[in-house]
């Protein structure tokens, strides 16, 4: 039923909850977990007066994405088959493209459950993926709430 499970990660605190669920599914279905993090190429701070150069932003994002994948893999049992990938682009777009490119059967992803102004300003990658995904998506609440 589920041979390939996508576990997107941004390295947020609490991703262990989503990794635990993905691991349980993988063990139950003898599936491979694909741990994906996206180097967000949208530099929100690039400007002559306030920000980071495009190169500095990309380098910091690459480091964050690589660490996010490594930390998430560490949450999974050694008995689970794992594929790791870091892609560049807009997170929601890259997640959905990976689903199509690699024929994922399920997405298991964390959500912070932001509401109000935080949700409006930051948006929700999980919500956008749920709305557009061609495969089932299971969301797991992450964070300290």
How do the pLDDT tens digits run along the chain, 145 residues long? 899 999 999 888 878 999 999 999 999 999 999 999 999 887 665 555 556 677 887 888 899 999 999 999 999 999 999 999 999 999 999 999 999 999 999 999 988 655 554 444 445 788 889 999 999 999 998 765 4
What is the reported pLDDT for 122?
43
Q: Which whole-number Å values give the CA distances from 27 to 13, 70, 136, in the listed order?
A: 24, 20, 18
What is the reported pLDDT for 90?
92
What is the reported pLDDT for 123?
53
What is the reported pLDDT for 119?
43
What is the reported pLDDT for 66?
97
The full DSSP string for 68-115 is HHHHHHHTS-TTSEEEEEEEEE-HHHHHHHHHHHHT-SEEEEEE----
What is the reported pLDDT for 50?
56
CATH class of domain segment(s) 4-141: alpha beta
Pairwise CA distance, residues 79 & 88, whole Å: 29
């Amino acid at each position: 039923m589920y041979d390939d499970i996508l576990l997107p990660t941004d390295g947020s605190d609490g991703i262990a909850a989503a990794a635990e669920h993905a691991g349980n599914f993988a063990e139950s279905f003898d599936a491979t977990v694909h741990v994906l993090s996206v180097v967000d190429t949208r530099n929100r701070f690039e400007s002559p007066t306030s920000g980071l150069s495009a190169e500095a932003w990309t380098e910091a994002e690459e480091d964050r994405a690589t660490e996010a994948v490594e930390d998430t893999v560490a949450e999974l049992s050694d008995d689970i088959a794992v594929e790791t990938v870091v892609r560049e682009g807009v997170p929601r777009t890259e997640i959905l493209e990976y689903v199509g490119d690699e024929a994922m059967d399920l997405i298991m992803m964390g959500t912070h459950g932001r509401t109000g102004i935080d949700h409006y300003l930051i948006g929700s990658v999980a919500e956008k993926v749920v709305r557009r995904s061609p495969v089932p998506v299971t969301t797991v609440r992450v964070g300290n709430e």
